[in-house]
Every structure is written in structure tokens, then in C-alpha cells.
Amino acid sequence: MSSKIEGVRAREVLDSRGNPTVEAEAWTKNSVARAMVPSGASTGVHEALELRDKDARFMGKGVAKAVSNVNKTIAKKIVGMDCTEQDAVDGFMIELDGTENKSRLGANAILSVSMAVSRLAAIEEGVPLYRHIGRLSKNKKFLLPVPSMNVLNGGVHAGNKLDIQEYMILPAGAKSFREALEISAEVYQNLKTVIKEKYGKDAINVGDEGGFAPPLSRPEEPLDLIMAAIEKAGHEKKVKLGVDAAASEFFEQDKNGRKAAKGNYVLEGVELTPGRLMERYGQMLDSYPIVSLEDAFSQDDWPAWSSFTGRYGGRVQVVGDDLLVTNVKRIEKALKEKACNTLLLKINQIGSITESIAAARLSMESGWNVMVSHRSGETEDPYIADLAVGLGAGELKAGAPCRSERTAKYNQLLRIEEELGNKAVYARMF
Ligand code: PGA
Ligand code: ZN
């Protein structure tokens, strides 16, 4: 049997922020595949555990223990298994770990192997990764996703005073992914000009996800700048907006250390109750073409989520990131509480491909949208581009059309679109 796993090996490599992460390789007699794990900065407290060494190396961020868990514990037991049986391989690693949040072996250790094994299976089957993921998730409808491109960075991803983390453009009116990418790149370059004209050439540095990070603090100002750039590029009819507030980061205390009373938020240095914050979002939705709003409230502020979704869920995607952490149990709770209507799918929040697929399927079957997502600490691995197409998710958030760890995903989508030829379908989401 040629799809028998002959070996697995991991190593410590660097991510896009210059921090260590895990890369794994898995091989059969005839093939070898490799994959790299991403890492977040505004991580949710309910995410699976990313194992870091916390010793003198790399300011405590080394992943030598996770690498050793792959090489010494996982590898031995995985050898001999069939790489096309993803459920069995992932199930085995989950059992071997034995904890609720993968804290023994590390979600980064388990995910690196899970990703590498799925890619190996695709090679063994002689199909592109997205087709293999289609098989695993029982999806036959491949879709080129609408990208959500974070063109202006704030929060913990940038050194400015903006509390809201991400301001995104969604080229939903394009006819193909290639056109979507072209439109986005043109808006991005025009945004650079708009920012330079208003704030000078010192203001065009970029943040962790490749978006500009000018010295702003008013939450609506980025939306004005982006609207000016869209107009300058002549793409008003084709581009919508998205926002990821990442509100867990300004809940009860903001990044500048300003504290609020229990249950309140701090926006632009001003304390807001969840109700007031909701009104502020409502004004934004009335004033700008926003179609997607992520993590508008903190990760355990369930009442605020439910009341926001009740009020605005009919006109905007209410996306759960820190709220859901790609975890079926939290998705089930959110369904019951009607707390959101879209899953943000991050493979390293849960730590295996099988569980990521289960989270996507439950969401889709429940009538939600699914947006596959990168992390702010990324790698050159384009895995999530294939994942988005294979799942038929219709949406992918992978940063600005700038910096190679982000464009690696978009460029992979160009290749997939080309390969699908006249069968390629660009998702109609908004
Ligand atoms: P993170 O940011 O990867 O730093 O968590 C991305 C997001 O919040 O969506
Ligand atoms: Zn988010």
C-alpha cells in the first residue's frame, strides 16, 4: 500500500513576525509533503493551546517542545497509518494528547502533522489539495472565495492608537478571482496615495497583515480613507467593506492601558457600555457599505452578541472569531443563543484538519456563512487557499495584497482558478 506513512519529522522555522513556528514533513515510499503552522496575536482565551517553550531561547517563544513531541511521540505512532485516512490520523493524535485543549502535545504540534498528512494524501491520490479537501468534507462545489483584504491595520497588529483591529475591502462585485485581486491591488495602491497626501510619506508603514498603519485613533477615519481610495480607483460598484473589531482586546481595558468598569468597552479612550458600542456600530453600518462585522463584542459577552445579531444579523455578516474559536461546542452554543451568523475558520484555533472541517460543515448546514482565515503571524504555506476552495466556503480572509505570506494565498487562488478553467466559479456572497 503506497499511501502508508513511512515517516514524520518536524522542525522549528520562523513565521512572518520572525517568531518560531512548527513545520512538519510526512512521507510515503514515493511522496513527501510539508506544512507550516500559523500563529495569532489577538488570540481568543478559548483557543487550543499553542505550545511555547517559555525558556531563554527566542524570548520564550521557541517551539522545541512541540517539535520534539512530533519527532519523539507522534511520529513513532503515526508511521504505518494510511495518509488518506485523515479522521483516523487526527483522531489518533487527539487521543494521544488526551486533553480538552491539546495542551499536552500542543495544537501547533498536532496541526503541523495534520496539515502535512492531508497534503501527502493529495499527492498520493494525484489530485490538487483543494480536491482532496473536497473529498474529506464531502463537498463537490468548489468556489473561488471572495477575499477579505485587511488594508488598514490597528489594534495589537499595529503601533498606532486605533482600537479596532482590521479594516477590510471585499471585491464582491468582481466576475472572477483574478479580477477581484486586480481590483483589490488597485484600491490598495490608491489607499497608499490617499494616506501619503493626508498624513505625509512617514505614514505609509504597514502592520502585521500588510495593511497600512497610519497614526489614527478615530474608529471611522479608516473607513473614510478607504472609501476615498475606492473612489479614486473607480471601483465603487464592486467593492464592499468589512471590519474586525477584535473587541476582546478593548474589553474592560484598551491597549493603551485605559481601564473601564466591568462589562464595558474602551473605544478611543472613552468608556462605552455594550449598548452604546452597539449604537456606534449601527451608525457605521448606516454610513458605510459594510457587509461583514467580526468580533464586535468580547469573547464571552454572549448577551451583547445575541442582541446585536437580533438587530443587525439580517443585513450584515456577524462573524464569530474569538467567540467561536473554530470549536464545534462553542458553535453549538452560538447557534442556540443566535449569537452570530458566520464562522471565522482558523485551523490553529482548534488544531486539526478533521475538526476544522467539522466546524465548517456544522456552520454551513446550520445556514451560516464560513470565512476561512489566516493568522496575523503567517507563513509562506498557502494551505488555507486550498482549504477555502475545497470546503466551498466562499470567503477567505488573508490580509492585504502585500507581503508574501499574504500574497502566497492569493497567488495560489490564481493557480487554482486557472486549473479549474471554465469550471471556476467566483463566489457570489454579497
Ligand atoms: P490574530 O488576528 O491572528 O492575531 O488573532 C486575526 C483575527 O483576529 O482575525
Ligand atoms: Zn478576528
Q: Which residue is catalytic, options 61, 240, 346, 409?
A: 346
Please say if the pLDDT value at position 2 is more than 90. no
The alpha carbon of 376 and the centre of ligand 1 are apart by a number of angstroms equal to: 5
This model's pTM is above 0.85: yes
Please report the pLDDT score of residue 1 as a whole number.
54
pLDDT tens sequence across 6-32: 999 999 999 999 999 999 999 999 999
Ligand 1 contact, 42 CB (< 6 A) = yes
Q: What percent of the chain has pLDDT over 70?
A: 100
Q: How crowded is residue 76: how many other Cβ atoms within 10 Å of its Cβ?
A: 10
Q: What is the CATH number of domain 7-126?
A: 3.30.390.10
* Model pLDDT, residue 60: 98
| Summary mean pLDDT of the chain | 97
Active site residue 346: yes
pLDDT of 256:
86
Domain with CATH 3.20.20.120 in the chain: 146-423
Per residue in 132-183, pLDDT (tens digit) is 999 999 999 999 999 999 999 999 999 999 999 999 999 999 999 999 999 9
Mean pLDDT of 318-340: 98
pLDDT digits (tens, 9 = 90+) for 369-393: 999 999 999 999 999 999 999 999 9
Tell me if 322 CB under 6 Å of ligand 1: no
Domain limits, CATH 3.30.390.10, in the chain:
7-126
Q: Mean of the pLDDT values across residues 85-103?
A: 98
The answer, yes or no, to whether any atom of ligand 1 lies below 6 A from the CB of 15, is no
Give the pLDDT score at 246.
Answer: 97
User: Quick one: which ligand is closest to 376's CA?
Assistant: 1
- Ligand 2 centre to CA of 42 (Å) is 8
Cβ 375 under 6 angstroms from ligand 1: yes
From CA 69, how far away is CA 83, in angstroms rounded? 19
pLDDT in tens, 246-281: 999 999 999 889 999 999 999 999 999 999 999 999
State the fold for domain 146-423.
TIM Barrel (3.20.20)
For the residues 185-192, what does the mean pLDDT come to?
A: 98
Residue 387 dihedral angles phi and psi, to the nearest 5° = -60, -45
